Amino acid sequence: MKTELSFANLPGIKTELLAVLAADTQTSKAPDAKPEPALLTSDEAVQAAAADVLSSGEYKAGANETLLLHAPAGLAARRLLIVGLGKQAKANVPSVRNAAGTAVRFTKPRGIRELVLALPENNFEGPLHAVVRAAVEGAFVGDFDPDTYRSDRKDQSVQSFTLAAPAEADHAALKAAFDEGVIVGESQNFTRFLVNEPGNKLTPTVLGRRAAEMAAEVGLGCEVHSTEKLHELKMGAFWSVSQGSEEPPALIVLRYEPKGVSDGPVLGLVGKGITFDTGGISIKPADKMEQMKYDMAGGAAMIGAMRAIALLKPRVRVIGVVCAAENMPDGKAYKPGDVETAMSGKTIEIINTDAEGRLVLADGLSYARQLGATHLIDAATLTGACVVALGTINAGAFSNDDATYAKFDSALATSDEKFWRLPLGEEYAELIKSDIGDIKNTGGRYGGAITAAEFLKVFAEDTPWIHLDIAGLAWVEDSKPYIAKGPSGVAVRSILEWVRSY
Least distance (Å) between residue 458 CB and ligand BES: 16
User: Which range, of 63-71, 248-256, 317-325, 378-386, touches ligand BES by CB under 6 A?
Assistant: 378-386
C-alpha neighbours within 13 Å on the C-beta side of residue 391: 2
Nearer to ligand BES, 114 or 338 (CB): 338
Which of 43, 121, 145, 277 touches ligand BES by CB under 6 A? 277
Considering the candidates 317, 358, 369, 440, report the single residue annotated as catalytic.
358
Q: How many residues bind Mn ion (CB under 5 A)?
A: 3
Which of 86, 357, 447, 481 touches Zn ion by CB under 5 A? 357
Question: Is position 434 an interface residue for ligand BES (rule: CB under 6 A)?
Answer: no
Considering the candidates 60, 284, 421, 480, report the single residue annotated as catalytic.
284
Give the x/- contact pattern for ligand BES in 280-319, rule: CB under 6 A. ---------------x------------------------
Distance between CA 94 and CA 85 in Å, rounded? Answer: 10
CA angle 184, 211, 491 (to 5 degrees): 40
User: Which range, of 92-100, 183-191, 350-358, 370-378, touches Mn ion by CB under 5 A?
Assistant: 350-358
Nearer to ligand BES, 354 or 454 (CB): 354
Q: At 454, which amino acid appears?
A: E
CA angle 54, 56, 59 (to 5 degrees): 55
CB 116 within 8 A of CB 77: yes
Q: How many residues bind ligand BES (CB under 6 A)?
A: 16
The Cβ of residue 35 has, within 10 Å, a number of other Cβ atoms equal to 19
Distance between CA 438 and CA 442 in Å, rounded? Answer: 13
Least distance (Å) between residue 315 CB and Mn ion: 38
Least distance (Å) between residue 386 CB and Mn ion: 13
Q: Which partner, Zn ion, Mn ion, ligand BES, none, binds residue 384 by CB below 5 to 8 Å per kind?
A: ligand BES
Question: Is position 277 an interface residue for Mn ion (rule: CB under 5 A)?
Answer: yes
Distance between CA 142 and CA 107 in Å, rounded? Answer: 10
> Under DSSP, is residue 202 helix (H, G, I), strand (E, B) or coil?
coil
> Under DSSP, is residue 86 helix (H, G, I), strand (E, B) or coil?
strand
Distance between CA 392 and CA 268 in Å, rounded? Answer: 27
Give the x/- contact pattern for Zn ion in 12-51, rule: CB under 5 A. ----------------------------------------
Distance between CA 478 and CA 176 in Å, rounded? Answer: 34
Question: Is position 352 an interface residue for ligand BES (rule: CB under 6 A)?
Answer: yes
Give the N- to C-terminal CA distance of the chain in Å, as an integer: 31
Which of 57, 109, 221, 384 touches ligand BES by CB under 6 A? 384
Question: Is position 326 an interface residue for Mn ion (rule: CB under 5 A)?
Answer: no
Who's near 85: CB < 8 A, 6+ residues apart?
A: 21, 22, 23, 40, 61, 63, 91, 95, 96, 99, 120
Question: Is position 442 an interface residue for ligand BES (rule: CB under 6 A)?
Answer: yes
Distance between CA 185 and CA 493 in Å, rounded? Answer: 9
Is residue 284 flagged as an active site residue?
yes
Distance between CA 72 and CA 316 in Å, rounded? Answer: 50
Question: Is position 326 an interface residue for Zn ion (rule: CB under 5 A)?
Answer: no
User: Which range, of 111-119, 311-319, 350-358, 469-477, touches Zn ion by CB under 5 A?
Assistant: 350-358
Nearer to Zn ion, 361 or 411 (CB): 361
Q: At 301, which amino acid appears?
A: A
CB 163 within 8 A of CB 136: yes
Which residue of the chain is nearest Zn ion when measured via CB? 277
Distance between CA 103 and CA 120 in Å, rounded? Answer: 14
DSSP code string of 313-360: --SSEEEEEEEEEEE---TTS--TT-EEE-TTS-EEE-S-TT--HHHH
Instruction: Quote the distance between the C-alpha of residue 229 and its chain's center.
Output: 29
Is residue 315 flagged as an active site residue?
no
Question: Is position 385 an interface residue for ligand BES (rule: CB under 6 A)?
Answer: yes
Which of 354, 416, 469, 497 touches Mn ion by CB under 5 A? 354
Who's near 278: CB < 8 A, 6+ residues apart?
A: 284, 289, 292, 327, 328, 329
Least distance (Å) between residue 342 CB and Mn ion: 18
Q: Which partner, Mn ion, Zn ion, ligand BES, none, binds residue 487 by CB below 5 to 8 Å per kind?
A: none
Least distance (Å) between residue 274 CB and ligand BES: 7
Q: Which partner, Zn ion, ligand BES, Mn ion, none, binds residue 448 by CB below 5 to 8 Å per kind?
A: ligand BES
Gyration radius from the chain CA atoms? 24
- Give 419-440 as a 3 state SS string: EEECCCCHHHHHCCECCCCCEE
Stretch 113-152 residues interacting with Mn ion (CB under 5 A): none
Stretch 269-308 residues interacting with Zn ion (CB under 5 A): 274, 277, 295
> Under the rule (CB under 5 A), what is the footprint of Zn ion?
274, 277, 295, 357
Catalytically active residues, by annotation = 284, 358
> Under the rule (CB under 5 A), what is the footprint of Mn ion?
277, 354, 356
> Under the rule (CB under 6 A), what is the footprint of ligand BES?
277, 295, 352, 354-357, 381-385, 387, 442, 448, 471
